[in-house]
Structure 1
Amino acid sequence: MNDDNPRIDRRNFLMGSIGTLGLAATASPLFGRIQSAQAAELPLSSLNPDEALQKLMDGNQRFVRHQLQHPDQTEARVHEVSQAQHPFATVLSCADSRVPAEIVFDQGIGDIFDVRIAGNIVTPESIGSIEYAVALLGTPVLMILGHERCGAVTAAVQNTPLPGKIGTFVEAILPAVERIKNQPGDAVDNAVTANVQYQMELLQRSSLITERAESGQLKIVGGRYDLDTGTVQIIA
Protein backbone atom coordinates (compact mmCIF):
# COMPACT_ATOMS: atom_id res chain seq x y z
CA MET A 1 0.00 0.00 0.00
CA ASN A 2 1.46 3.37 -0.97
CA ASP A 3 1.14 6.70 0.85
CA ASP A 4 -1.59 7.95 -1.46
CA ASN A 5 -4.13 5.30 -0.53
CA PRO A 6 -5.52 7.02 2.62
CA ARG A 7 -6.11 10.20 0.65
CA ILE A 8 -7.85 8.30 -2.13
CA ASP A 9 -9.99 6.42 0.38
CA ARG A 10 -11.09 9.63 2.09
CA ARG A 11 -11.99 11.21 -1.22
CA ASN A 12 -13.96 8.13 -2.30
CA PHE A 13 -15.85 8.16 0.99
CA LEU A 14 -16.73 11.83 0.53
CA MET A 15 -17.87 11.37 -3.02
CA GLY A 16 -19.79 8.18 -2.34
CA SER A 17 -23.15 9.90 -2.24
CA ILE A 18 -22.81 11.20 -5.78
CA GLY A 19 -21.17 8.22 -7.41
CA THR A 20 -17.78 7.70 -8.92
CA LEU A 21 -17.92 10.67 -11.28
CA GLY A 22 -17.01 13.10 -8.50
CA LEU A 23 -17.63 16.80 -8.30
CA ALA A 24 -15.30 17.54 -11.19
CA ALA A 25 -17.96 16.23 -13.59
CA THR A 26 -20.11 19.32 -13.25
CA ALA A 27 -20.45 19.79 -16.99
CA SER A 28 -21.83 16.32 -17.66
CA PRO A 29 -25.56 15.69 -18.06
CA LEU A 30 -25.38 12.91 -15.50
CA PHE A 31 -23.96 15.27 -12.89
CA GLY A 32 -26.80 17.65 -13.64
CA ARG A 33 -29.36 14.93 -13.03
CA ILE A 34 -27.65 14.00 -9.76
CA GLN A 35 -27.67 17.63 -8.67
CA SER A 36 -31.35 17.95 -9.56
CA ALA A 37 -32.15 14.82 -7.58
CA GLN A 38 -30.26 16.20 -4.60
CA ALA A 39 -32.13 19.48 -4.85
CA ALA A 40 -35.46 17.66 -5.01
CA GLU A 41 -34.66 15.77 -1.84
CA LEU A 42 -33.19 18.67 0.11
CA PRO A 43 -34.98 21.83 1.20
CA LEU A 44 -32.08 24.08 0.20
CA SER A 45 -31.44 27.24 2.14
CA SER A 46 -33.89 29.99 1.27
CA LEU A 47 -31.37 32.65 2.32
CA ASN A 48 -29.50 34.70 -0.23
CA PRO A 49 -25.73 35.12 0.30
CA ASP A 50 -26.02 38.43 2.14
CA GLU A 51 -28.74 37.10 4.43
CA ALA A 52 -26.72 33.96 5.16
CA LEU A 53 -23.65 35.99 6.09
CA GLN A 54 -25.77 38.25 8.29
CA LYS A 55 -27.19 35.19 10.04
CA LEU A 56 -23.66 34.03 10.83
CA MET A 57 -22.58 37.43 12.10
CA ASP A 58 -25.76 37.92 14.16
CA GLY A 59 -25.05 34.60 15.82
CA ASN A 60 -21.52 35.67 16.59
CA GLN A 61 -22.80 38.84 18.21
CA ARG A 62 -25.09 36.76 20.43
CA PHE A 63 -22.07 34.65 21.38
CA VAL A 64 -19.98 37.71 22.24
CA ARG A 65 -22.80 39.25 24.29
CA HIS A 66 -23.59 35.97 26.08
CA GLN A 67 -27.12 36.02 24.67
CA LEU A 68 -27.04 32.57 23.11
CA GLN A 69 -30.21 31.13 21.59
CA HIS A 70 -28.82 27.62 20.90
CA PRO A 71 -31.00 27.19 17.78
CA ASP A 72 -31.57 23.86 16.06
CA GLN A 73 -30.30 21.77 18.95
CA THR A 74 -33.48 19.95 19.92
CA GLU A 75 -34.46 16.32 19.47
CA ALA A 76 -36.90 17.46 16.79
CA ARG A 77 -34.03 19.04 14.85
CA VAL A 78 -32.02 15.82 15.06
CA HIS A 79 -34.91 13.96 13.42
CA GLU A 80 -35.53 16.76 10.90
CA VAL A 81 -32.06 16.50 9.41
CA SER A 82 -31.55 12.78 9.88
CA GLN A 83 -32.21 11.97 6.22
CA ALA A 84 -30.88 15.11 4.50
CA GLN A 85 -28.91 18.25 5.27
CA HIS A 86 -29.44 21.81 4.11
CA PRO A 87 -26.82 24.03 5.81
CA PHE A 88 -26.96 27.74 5.13
CA ALA A 89 -23.19 28.27 5.45
CA THR A 90 -19.90 26.53 4.77
CA VAL A 91 -16.99 27.40 7.05
CA LEU A 92 -13.38 26.40 6.40
CA SER A 93 -11.74 26.91 9.77
CA CYS A 94 -8.73 25.85 11.78
CA ALA A 95 -8.94 22.56 13.70
CA ASP A 96 -8.12 24.53 16.87
CA SER A 97 -10.33 23.39 19.76
CA ARG A 98 -11.08 27.00 20.70
CA VAL A 99 -12.84 27.87 17.43
CA PRO A 100 -15.88 25.56 17.02
CA ALA A 101 -18.03 27.19 14.34
CA GLU A 102 -21.45 26.18 15.67
CA ILE A 103 -20.65 27.66 19.07
CA VAL A 104 -18.96 30.93 18.04
CA PHE A 105 -21.76 31.60 15.51
CA ASP A 106 -24.52 30.32 17.86
CA GLN A 107 -25.92 27.84 15.36
CA GLY A 108 -27.06 24.23 15.61
CA ILE A 109 -27.25 20.84 13.99
CA GLY A 110 -27.40 21.01 10.21
CA ASP A 111 -26.77 24.77 10.01
CA ILE A 112 -23.06 24.89 9.14
CA PHE A 113 -21.08 22.59 6.86
CA ASP A 114 -17.79 22.44 8.77
CA VAL A 115 -14.46 21.86 7.06
CA ARG A 116 -11.72 21.94 9.70
CA ILE A 117 -7.99 21.54 9.20
CA ALA A 118 -4.97 23.01 11.00
CA GLY A 119 -4.22 26.46 9.62
CA ASN A 120 -7.53 26.58 7.68
CA ILE A 121 -5.56 25.58 4.61
CA VAL A 122 -6.87 24.63 1.18
CA THR A 123 -6.00 21.06 0.17
CA PRO A 124 -7.54 18.82 -2.51
CA GLU A 125 -9.63 17.22 0.20
CA SER A 126 -10.85 20.48 1.69
CA ILE A 127 -11.65 21.84 -1.78
CA GLY A 128 -13.66 18.71 -2.54
CA SER A 129 -15.56 19.05 0.72
CA ILE A 130 -16.32 22.71 0.00
CA GLU A 131 -17.37 21.93 -3.57
CA TYR A 132 -19.78 19.33 -2.23
CA ALA A 133 -21.29 21.89 0.13
CA VAL A 134 -21.64 24.81 -2.26
CA ALA A 135 -22.47 22.92 -5.47
CA LEU A 136 -24.69 20.10 -4.22
CA LEU A 137 -25.98 21.33 -0.88
CA GLY A 138 -26.30 24.90 -2.14
CA THR A 139 -24.84 26.80 0.80
CA PRO A 140 -25.02 30.51 -0.12
CA VAL A 141 -22.06 31.71 1.96
CA LEU A 142 -18.52 30.36 2.35
CA MET A 143 -16.26 31.72 5.06
CA ILE A 144 -12.55 31.00 5.44
CA LEU A 145 -11.99 31.60 9.14
CA GLY A 146 -8.56 32.21 10.62
CA HIS A 147 -7.94 33.05 14.24
CA GLU A 148 -5.71 35.01 16.56
CA ARG A 149 -2.50 33.33 17.75
CA CYS A 150 -2.97 30.39 15.40
CA GLY A 151 -0.45 27.64 16.22
CA ALA A 152 -0.18 26.54 12.60
CA VAL A 153 0.54 30.08 11.44
CA THR A 154 3.00 30.59 14.29
CA ALA A 155 4.84 27.45 13.23
CA ALA A 156 4.99 28.75 9.67
CA VAL A 157 6.38 32.10 10.82
CA GLN A 158 9.05 30.33 12.90
CA ASN A 159 9.62 27.77 10.12
CA THR A 160 11.61 25.29 12.16
CA PRO A 161 11.67 21.50 11.59
CA LEU A 162 8.65 19.66 13.01
CA PRO A 163 8.12 15.93 13.65
CA GLY A 164 5.93 13.59 11.63
CA LYS A 165 3.53 15.15 9.15
CA ILE A 166 3.02 18.31 11.19
CA GLY A 167 5.19 20.28 8.81
CA THR A 168 2.83 19.68 5.89
CA PHE A 169 0.44 22.44 6.92
CA VAL A 170 3.39 24.74 7.59
CA GLU A 171 4.45 24.37 3.97
CA ALA A 172 0.93 25.32 2.89
CA ILE A 173 1.10 28.58 4.88
CA LEU A 174 4.63 29.67 3.96
CA PRO A 175 3.56 31.60 0.81
CA ALA A 176 1.32 33.76 3.00
CA VAL A 177 4.16 34.33 5.48
CA GLU A 178 6.42 35.42 2.64
CA ARG A 179 3.95 38.15 1.72
CA ILE A 180 4.12 39.86 5.12
CA LYS A 181 7.79 39.39 6.01
CA ASN A 182 8.52 43.11 5.59
CA GLN A 183 5.31 44.43 7.13
CA PRO A 184 5.44 46.28 10.47
CA GLY A 185 3.60 44.92 13.47
CA ASP A 186 3.13 41.43 14.88
CA ALA A 187 4.32 38.88 12.34
CA VAL A 188 1.94 36.12 13.44
CA ASP A 189 -1.13 38.35 13.42
CA ASN A 190 -0.17 39.74 10.02
CA ALA A 191 0.32 36.20 8.75
CA VAL A 192 -3.08 35.08 10.05
CA THR A 193 -4.75 37.69 7.85
CA ALA A 194 -2.45 37.00 4.89
CA ASN A 195 -3.10 33.28 5.19
CA VAL A 196 -6.87 33.73 5.04
CA GLN A 197 -6.47 35.86 1.93
CA TYR A 198 -4.03 33.39 0.35
CA GLN A 199 -6.29 30.39 0.98
CA MET A 200 -9.21 32.32 -0.53
CA GLU A 201 -7.13 32.81 -3.66
CA LEU A 202 -6.43 29.08 -3.86
CA LEU A 203 -10.15 28.37 -3.76
CA GLN A 204 -10.52 30.38 -6.96
CA ARG A 205 -8.89 27.45 -8.77
CA SER A 206 -12.11 25.51 -8.35
CA SER A 207 -14.48 26.13 -11.24
CA LEU A 208 -17.41 24.86 -9.18
CA ILE A 209 -16.79 27.45 -6.50
CA THR A 210 -16.03 30.35 -8.83
CA GLU A 211 -19.06 29.64 -11.01
CA ARG A 212 -21.35 29.78 -7.98
CA ALA A 213 -19.72 33.03 -6.85
CA GLU A 214 -19.86 34.66 -10.28
CA SER A 215 -23.53 33.74 -10.65
CA GLY A 216 -24.33 35.51 -7.39
CA GLN A 217 -25.39 32.30 -5.66
CA LEU A 218 -22.39 32.26 -3.34
CA LYS A 219 -20.56 34.88 -1.28
CA ILE A 220 -16.98 34.09 -0.28
CA VAL A 221 -15.58 35.97 2.70
CA GLY A 222 -12.57 35.79 4.98
CA GLY A 223 -12.88 36.12 8.74
CA ARG A 224 -10.61 36.42 11.77
CA TYR A 225 -11.67 35.09 15.15
CA ASP A 226 -10.41 36.91 18.23
CA LEU A 227 -9.59 34.42 20.98
CA ASP A 228 -9.80 37.10 23.66
CA THR A 229 -13.23 38.51 22.83
CA GLY A 230 -14.91 35.81 20.76
CA THR A 231 -15.54 38.31 17.95
CA VAL A 232 -15.41 37.35 14.27
CA GLN A 233 -14.23 40.19 12.05
CA ILE A 234 -14.62 40.16 8.27
CA ILE A 235 -11.17 40.78 6.83
CA ALA A 236 -11.60 39.86 3.16
Structure 2
Amino acid sequence: MVTMTTEQGASSTSRTPAQALDSLIRGNARFMSEESAHPRQDGARRELMTTGQRPFAVVLACSDSRVPVEIIFDQGLGDIFVIRTAGEITDLSVLASLEFAVVGLGVPLVVVLGHESCGAVMAAQNALETGEMPSGFQRVLVEKVTPSLLAARAEGGESAEDFERHHVIEIAAHIVDRSPQILNGLREGTVGVVGMRYRLSDGLTEPVVTYGTAIEGVPAGDLS
Protein backbone atom coordinates (compact mmCIF):
# COMPACT_ATOMS: atom_id res chain seq x y z
CA MET A 1 0.00 0.00 0.00
CA VAL A 2 1.31 3.45 -0.93
CA THR A 3 1.50 6.01 1.88
CA MET A 4 0.93 9.62 0.87
CA THR A 5 2.15 12.55 2.91
CA THR A 6 -0.52 15.02 4.03
CA GLU A 7 -0.08 18.69 4.90
CA GLN A 8 -0.14 17.69 8.58
CA GLY A 9 2.74 15.30 8.05
CA ALA A 10 0.62 12.19 8.68
CA SER A 11 -0.36 9.61 6.11
CA SER A 12 -3.86 9.81 4.65
CA THR A 13 -4.55 6.33 6.00
CA SER A 14 -4.12 7.59 9.59
CA ARG A 15 -6.06 10.84 9.25
CA THR A 16 -9.14 11.14 11.46
CA PRO A 17 -12.47 12.54 10.24
CA ALA A 18 -11.78 15.74 12.19
CA GLN A 19 -8.31 16.13 10.66
CA ALA A 20 -9.70 15.55 7.17
CA LEU A 21 -12.39 18.18 7.71
CA ASP A 22 -9.80 20.61 9.07
CA SER A 23 -7.72 20.18 5.91
CA LEU A 24 -10.74 21.04 3.75
CA ILE A 25 -11.72 24.05 5.88
CA ARG A 26 -8.17 25.44 5.87
CA GLY A 27 -7.86 24.87 2.13
CA ASN A 28 -11.13 26.68 1.53
CA ALA A 29 -9.91 29.57 3.67
CA ARG A 30 -6.83 29.85 1.45
CA PHE A 31 -9.04 29.82 -1.66
CA MET A 32 -11.32 32.52 -0.23
CA SER A 33 -8.39 34.78 0.63
CA GLU A 34 -6.82 34.26 -2.83
CA GLU A 35 -3.81 32.57 -1.23
CA SER A 36 -4.26 29.09 -2.71
CA ALA A 37 -1.16 26.91 -2.31
CA HIS A 38 -2.04 24.50 -5.17
CA PRO A 39 -0.43 21.67 -3.17
CA ARG A 40 0.62 18.26 -4.44
CA GLN A 41 0.26 19.08 -8.14
CA ASP A 42 3.84 18.64 -9.36
CA GLY A 43 5.52 15.92 -11.38
CA ALA A 44 6.55 13.93 -8.32
CA ARG A 45 2.95 13.79 -7.17
CA ARG A 46 1.77 12.71 -10.62
CA GLU A 47 4.34 9.92 -10.58
CA LEU A 48 3.23 8.81 -7.13
CA MET A 49 -0.38 8.66 -8.30
CA THR A 50 0.51 5.99 -10.87
CA THR A 51 0.99 3.50 -8.04
CA GLY A 52 -2.37 3.98 -6.27
CA GLN A 53 -4.62 6.41 -4.46
CA ARG A 54 -5.38 7.16 -0.81
CA PRO A 55 -7.69 10.21 -0.79
CA PHE A 56 -8.65 11.64 2.60
CA ALA A 57 -12.17 12.77 1.64
CA VAL A 58 -14.97 11.76 -0.71
CA VAL A 59 -17.15 14.63 -1.90
CA LEU A 60 -20.57 14.22 -3.48
CA ALA A 61 -20.99 17.55 -5.25
CA CYS A 62 -23.30 19.17 -7.76
CA SER A 63 -22.14 19.01 -11.38
CA ASP A 64 -22.31 22.81 -11.66
CA SER A 65 -19.19 24.07 -13.46
CA ARG A 66 -18.85 26.91 -10.97
CA VAL A 67 -18.07 24.50 -8.13
CA PRO A 68 -14.73 22.79 -8.94
CA VAL A 69 -14.18 20.73 -5.82
CA GLU A 70 -10.38 20.45 -5.71
CA ILE A 71 -9.98 24.17 -6.46
CA ILE A 72 -12.37 25.54 -3.83
CA PHE A 73 -10.76 23.30 -1.19
CA ASP A 74 -7.22 24.00 -2.51
CA GLN A 75 -6.21 20.34 -2.66
CA GLY A 76 -3.99 18.33 -4.96
CA LEU A 77 -3.84 15.18 -7.03
CA GLY A 78 -5.20 12.16 -5.17
CA ASP A 79 -6.52 14.14 -2.19
CA ILE A 80 -10.27 14.04 -2.90
CA PHE A 81 -12.44 11.31 -4.40
CA VAL A 82 -15.11 13.31 -6.24
CA ILE A 83 -18.60 12.20 -7.28
CA ARG A 84 -20.69 14.75 -9.19
CA THR A 85 -24.37 14.71 -10.13
CA ALA A 86 -26.75 17.56 -10.86
CA GLY A 87 -28.24 18.64 -7.54
CA GLU A 88 -25.91 16.16 -5.78
CA ILE A 89 -28.72 13.60 -6.08
CA THR A 90 -28.09 9.97 -5.21
CA ASP A 91 -28.87 6.63 -6.79
CA LEU A 92 -27.45 3.14 -6.30
CA SER A 93 -24.31 3.90 -8.32
CA VAL A 94 -23.61 6.99 -6.21
CA LEU A 95 -24.09 5.06 -2.97
CA ALA A 96 -21.84 2.30 -4.31
CA SER A 97 -19.16 4.87 -5.19
CA LEU A 98 -19.38 6.40 -1.71
CA GLU A 99 -18.99 2.98 -0.11
CA PHE A 100 -16.05 2.16 -2.39
CA ALA A 101 -14.31 5.32 -1.18
CA VAL A 102 -15.02 4.64 2.50
CA VAL A 103 -14.50 0.87 2.57
CA GLY A 104 -12.22 0.23 -0.39
CA LEU A 105 -9.98 3.29 -0.06
CA GLY A 106 -10.28 3.94 3.68
CA VAL A 107 -11.54 7.50 3.29
CA PRO A 108 -12.43 8.97 6.73
CA LEU A 109 -14.68 11.83 5.60
CA VAL A 110 -17.80 12.01 3.42
CA VAL A 111 -18.90 15.48 2.28
CA VAL A 112 -22.18 16.42 0.60
CA LEU A 113 -21.56 19.72 -1.18
CA GLY A 114 -24.49 21.83 -2.35
CA HIS A 115 -24.19 25.42 -3.50
CA GLU A 116 -25.74 28.82 -3.94
CA SER A 117 -27.93 29.32 -7.06
CA CYS A 118 -28.31 25.57 -7.66
CA GLY A 119 -30.14 24.99 -10.94
CA ALA A 120 -31.64 21.67 -9.81
CA VAL A 121 -33.09 23.28 -6.69
CA MET A 122 -34.40 26.18 -8.78
CA ALA A 123 -36.07 23.76 -11.20
CA ALA A 124 -37.76 21.90 -8.35
CA GLN A 125 -38.90 25.17 -6.78
CA ASN A 126 -40.33 26.31 -10.11
CA ALA A 127 -42.17 23.00 -10.52
CA LEU A 128 -43.71 23.34 -7.07
CA GLU A 129 -44.83 26.90 -7.73
CA THR A 130 -46.11 26.50 -11.30
CA GLY A 131 -46.94 22.82 -11.59
CA GLU A 132 -44.81 22.63 -14.74
CA MET A 133 -42.28 19.82 -15.07
CA PRO A 134 -39.24 19.88 -17.37
CA SER A 135 -39.20 17.52 -20.31
CA GLY A 136 -37.09 14.42 -20.83
CA PHE A 137 -34.88 12.95 -18.15
CA GLN A 138 -34.48 16.36 -16.51
CA ARG A 139 -37.73 15.68 -14.69
CA VAL A 140 -35.82 13.06 -12.67
CA LEU A 141 -33.83 15.89 -11.08
CA VAL A 142 -37.03 17.64 -10.02
CA GLU A 143 -38.50 14.41 -8.66
CA LYS A 144 -35.34 13.76 -6.62
CA VAL A 145 -35.00 17.29 -5.23
CA THR A 146 -38.67 18.10 -4.53
CA PRO A 147 -38.94 16.08 -1.27
CA SER A 148 -36.15 18.21 0.22
CA LEU A 149 -38.03 21.39 -0.66
CA LEU A 150 -41.26 20.07 0.81
CA ALA A 151 -39.40 19.19 4.03
CA ALA A 152 -37.88 22.68 4.12
CA ARG A 153 -41.29 24.28 3.66
CA ALA A 154 -42.69 22.15 6.48
CA GLU A 155 -40.06 23.70 8.74
CA GLY A 156 -40.82 27.24 7.60
CA GLY A 157 -38.26 27.55 4.83
CA GLU A 158 -39.13 29.98 2.05
CA SER A 159 -35.95 31.26 0.39
CA ALA A 160 -33.65 29.63 -2.16
CA GLU A 161 -30.97 29.50 0.53
CA ASP A 162 -33.35 27.66 2.87
CA PHE A 163 -34.08 25.11 0.14
CA GLU A 164 -30.41 24.64 -0.82
CA ARG A 165 -29.33 24.14 2.78
CA HIS A 166 -32.15 21.73 3.52
CA HIS A 167 -31.47 19.73 0.37
CA VAL A 168 -27.89 19.14 1.57
CA ILE A 169 -29.22 18.09 4.98
CA GLU A 170 -31.65 15.64 3.38
CA ILE A 171 -29.01 14.12 1.09
CA ALA A 172 -26.59 13.64 4.00
CA ALA A 173 -29.33 11.98 6.05
CA HIS A 174 -30.24 9.79 3.09
CA ILE A 175 -26.64 8.57 2.72
CA VAL A 176 -26.38 7.74 6.42
CA ASP A 177 -29.76 5.98 6.32
CA ARG A 178 -29.13 3.98 3.12
CA SER A 179 -25.51 2.89 3.65
CA PRO A 180 -24.97 0.43 6.52
CA GLN A 181 -21.21 0.53 5.90
CA ILE A 182 -21.03 4.30 6.28
CA LEU A 183 -23.29 4.15 9.33
CA ASN A 184 -21.04 1.52 10.91
CA GLY A 185 -18.02 3.76 10.29
CA LEU A 186 -19.84 6.64 11.98
CA ARG A 187 -20.66 4.54 15.02
CA GLU A 188 -17.09 3.25 15.23
CA GLY A 189 -15.65 6.77 14.94
CA THR A 190 -13.66 6.03 11.79
CA VAL A 191 -15.89 8.03 9.42
CA GLY A 192 -17.49 11.47 9.53
CA VAL A 193 -20.22 12.87 7.28
CA VAL A 194 -20.58 16.61 6.73
CA GLY A 195 -23.07 18.55 4.63
CA MET A 196 -21.83 21.88 3.25
CA ARG A 197 -23.16 24.68 1.02
CA TYR A 198 -20.74 26.57 -1.22
CA ARG A 199 -21.41 30.28 -1.63
CA LEU A 200 -20.62 31.47 -5.15
CA SER A 201 -20.64 35.04 -3.90
CA ASP A 202 -17.63 34.80 -1.60
CA GLY A 203 -16.24 31.26 -1.97
CA LEU A 204 -17.11 30.02 1.52
CA THR A 205 -18.10 26.39 2.07
CA GLU A 206 -20.37 26.63 5.11
CA PRO A 207 -21.16 23.44 7.07
CA VAL A 208 -24.90 22.89 7.59
CA VAL A 209 -25.01 19.44 9.25
CA THR A 210 -22.52 16.97 10.70
CA TYR A 211 -22.44 13.30 11.65
CA GLY A 212 -19.58 11.85 13.64
CA THR A 213 -17.54 15.05 13.85
CA ALA A 214 -18.54 18.17 15.76
CA ILE A 215 -18.48 21.74 14.46
CA GLU A 216 -19.47 24.52 16.85
CA GLY A 217 -22.83 26.00 15.94
CA VAL A 218 -23.63 23.33 13.30
CA PRO A 219 -26.51 20.88 13.95
CA ALA A 220 -25.56 17.24 14.45
CA GLY A 221 -27.49 14.59 12.55
CA ASP A 222 -29.31 11.76 14.30
CA LEU A 223 -27.62 8.34 14.24
CA SER A 224 -30.38 6.50 16.12
Q: How high is the TM-score relative to the length of structure 2?
A: 0.84
In structure 2, give the amino acid aligned to 1:195: H
% same residue: 37
What is the CA distance between 1:88 and its match in structure 2? 0.6
User: Do residues 169 (structure 1) and 141 (structure 2) align?
Assistant: yes
Unmatched tracts of structure 1, length 5 or more: 1-40
Instruction: State how many pairs are aligned.
Output: 196
For 1:178 and 1:114, the matched residues in 2 are separated by 28
Work out which of the residue numbers 22, 26, 39 in structure 2 matches 1:58: 26
Partner amino acid, structure 2, of 1:73: Q
Shifted more, 159-168 versus 80-89: the winner is 159-168
Matched residues in 2 for 1:63 and 1:83: separation? 29
Q: Within 2, Cα distance between the matches of 1:180 and 1:53?
A: 26
Contact 1:42 1:84 in 2 (8 A): yes
Answering whether residue 72 of structure 2 is matched by residue 104 of structure 1, we say yes
Displacement after TM superposition at 1:212 (Å) = 1.0
Task: List aligned pairs for 1:83-162, cutoff 5 A.
Answer: 83-159=51-127, 160-162=132-134
Aligned-partner SS, 1:235: strand
- Whole-angstrom CA distance in 2 between matches of 1:69 and 1:45: 22
Q: CA deviation at 1:170?
A: 1.3
RMSD of aligned residue pairs (Cα, Å): 1.3
Aligned to 2:208: 235
| CA distances 1:87-136 after superposition (whole Å, capped 9, x unpaired) | 01111110000001100000011000001000011211111110000111
- 1:49 and 2:22 matched: no
- In 2, the alpha carbon distance for the partners of 1:75 and 1:113 equals 20
Secondary structure (helix, strand or coil) at the match of 2:13 reads coil
The answer to whether the Cα contact below 8 Å between 1:147 and 1:226 also exists between their aligned partners in 2 is yes
How far does the alpha carbon of each residue in 1:169-210 deviate from its partner, in whole angstroms, 9 at most, with x for none?
211111101012255565321111111111111112111111
Give the unaligned 5+ runs of structure 2.
4-11, 210-224
With 76-85 and 181-190 compared, the bigger mean Cα shift is at 181-190
Contact 2:157/2:163 (8 A) holds in 1: no
CA distance in 2, matches of 1:61, 1:113: 20
Residue 222 (str. 1) matches residue 190 (str. 2): no
Q: Secondary structure at the match of 1:234?
A: strand
Partner of 1:4: none
Contact kept in structure 2, 1:157 and 1:187, CA below 8 Å: no
Matched, 1:70 2:38: yes
Checking the alignment, whether the CA contact within 8 Å between 1:56 and 1:105 is kept in structure 2 is yes
SS at 1:69 equivalent: coil
Q: Which protein has the larger Cα radius of gyration, Structure 1 or Structure 2?
A: 1
For 2:139 and 2:14, the matched residues in 1 are separated by: 41
| Alignment correspondent of 2:150 | 178
For structure 1, which segment, 186-195 or 170-179, has the greater mean C-alpha deviation from structure 2 after superposition?
186-195
